[in-house]
Amino acid sequence: MLLGRVKGTAVCTFKAPGMDGLKLLLVQPLNKRLEPTGPLQVAADVVDAGPGDLCLMVRSREASLALPEMKFVPVDLALVGIVDELEVRPDRSFDFTLRRGWNPYT
Amino acid sequence: MILGKVVGTVVTTISHRDFKNRRLLVVQPLGLEGDAPDDDFIALDNTQAGIGDTVLVNREGGGARMVLCNPDACVISVIVGIVDSVFIE
Amino acid sequence: MLIAKVIGTTVSTIKDAKLTGCKLLVVRQTDERGQPIGKPYVAVDTVDAGSGDLVLTCAGSSARQTAYTKDTPVDAVIMSIIDSLEVGGEVVFRKS
């Protein structure tokens, strides 16, 4: 699951059966610092997001499970939440390295 | 499963019903010394983990659906354990 | 299925109830000669593998096809310990 920002809409007339009425949005995938990761992608919207919204997205098979009715549609990216608040600690607060020997965490 | 560190939280008011009543956390995967860090991702919490905890994350939808006891859940990454310690040879 | 080397262990007290009793080992994918490549990940051990062993791991939903991991939230499992590997007629790995 990843973050993305809505950049625009995609309009398609001819779609696979089951995709009728699906709202398709252009989204920019983002990392935790809200920096772009890769090119724009098209996602199916299930939460009525609008341009500029920061969203939570799911990929792969689970994207089609997010759709309200049809569970077997060719969709592999879906918007499943609108992010109100994102709190991320700076990287220097934590150690992300697995070192040789015991790494105690508690 | 992978080992990761919880570095942040995500709050959503409008979200898919499968995400209700559970916390969404930002997870940064742990790597061995000298490795480039992996991309961070968002995971659903199932173990009351918090920021700073080292966690075990299942990144496969079938396992997530099993944890959530919902055969149609649209969730991929789910935190299934809080790690106390790791030993590396 | 991936060839992997066991490089460590994980201790976890608070975890999903279905994971209770599972031995969680840290493994890393290797090439056919046992040279590590790729990132470390955690797999459930079903065959009593130990540190340094070369093992076969299975990822994804297939990881829940063993009797031990059935219906558990597991996405990687160690399901065999490699005795030897042969590539092109040459034995490239033999368990010591």
Domain-embedded: residue B88: no
Interface of B with A in 26-55 (CB under 8 A): 26, 28-33, 37, 39-44, 51-54
- pLDDT the model gives residue B78: 92
What is residue A36's DSSP assignment?
Answer: B
- Phi, psi angles (nearest 5°) of residue A9: -120, 155
Whole-number Cα distances in Å, C87 to B6, B65, C36, C56, C93: 42, 39, 17, 16, 9
Residues of chain A in contact with residue C40, where contact means CB-CB under 8 angstroms, are 98
- pLDDT the model gives residue B77: 92
> Going by C-beta distance under 8 Å and a sequence separation of 6 or more, which residues neighbour residue B47?
B55, B79, B80, B81, B82, C14, C15, C16
Q: Do A71 and B8 touch (CB under 8 A)?
A: no
B10, pLDDT greater than 90: yes
Q: In this predicted model, what pLDDT tens digit does every residue of B23-50 receive, in sequence order?
A: 999 999 998 888 887 889 999 998 889 8
Does the interface ipTM go beyond 0.90?
no
CATH of range C2-86; options 3.30.460.30, 3.40.50.720, 2.60.120.10, 2.40.50.220: 2.40.50.220
Residue-level pLDDT, tens digit, chain C, 96 residues: 999 999 999 999 888 888 888 899 999 999 888 888 888 999 999 998 988 899 999 988 888 888 888 888 888 999 999 998 898 888 888 888
A84, pLDDT greater than 80: yes
- pLDDT the model gives residue A14: 84
Q: Residue C71 is which amino acid?
A: D
Whole-number Cα distances in Å, A37 to A31, A32, A95, B46, C35: 6, 10, 23, 27, 31
Residue A28: CB atoms within 10 A of its CB come to 18
pLDDT band (50, 70, 90) for residue A26? very high
Q: C53 to chain B: nearest residue by CA?
A: B89
d(CA B71, CA B60): 13
d(CA C94, CA A84): 55
Whole-number Cα distances in Å, A89 to A5, B32, B37, B56, C30: 20, 21, 16, 19, 34
- pLDDT the model gives residue A62: 87
Q: Do A83 and B16 touch (CB under 8 A)?
A: no
Domain-embedded: residue B38: yes
CATH of domain A2-85: 2.40.50.220
Range of the domain at B31: 2-82
How many structural domains does chain B have?
A: 1
Q: C20 to chain B: nearest residue by CA?
A: B81
Q: List the domain boundaries for chain C.
A: 2-86
A71, pLDDT greater than 80: no
B5, pLDDT greater than 90: yes
A43 touches chain B (CB under 8 A): no
Residue C52: CB atoms within 10 A of its CB come to 11
pLDDT band (50, 70, 90) for residue A17? confident
pLDDT (mean) for A94-101: 87
Count residue pairs from A and B with Cβ separation < 8 A: 144
- A31 or C67, greater pLDDT: A31
Q: For residue B73, give the CATH number of its domain.
A: 2.40.50.220
Mean pLDDT of chain A: 88
* Range ranked top by mean pLDDT from A60-64, A79-83, B16-20, C70-74: A79-83
d(CA A75, CA C28): 32
- pLDDT the model gives residue B33: 86
Domain-embedded: residue B89: no
pLDDT (mean) for A21-44: 90
Q: Do B40 and A32 touch (CB under 8 A)?
A: yes
Write down the pTM of the prediction. 0.84
Task: Tell the residue number behind the tokens 């499963």, with chain if given.
Answer: B1
A69, pLDDT greater than 80: no
pLDDT band (50, 70, 90) for residue A29? very high
Residue B53: CB atoms within 10 A of its CB come to 20
A11 touches chain C (CB under 8 A): no
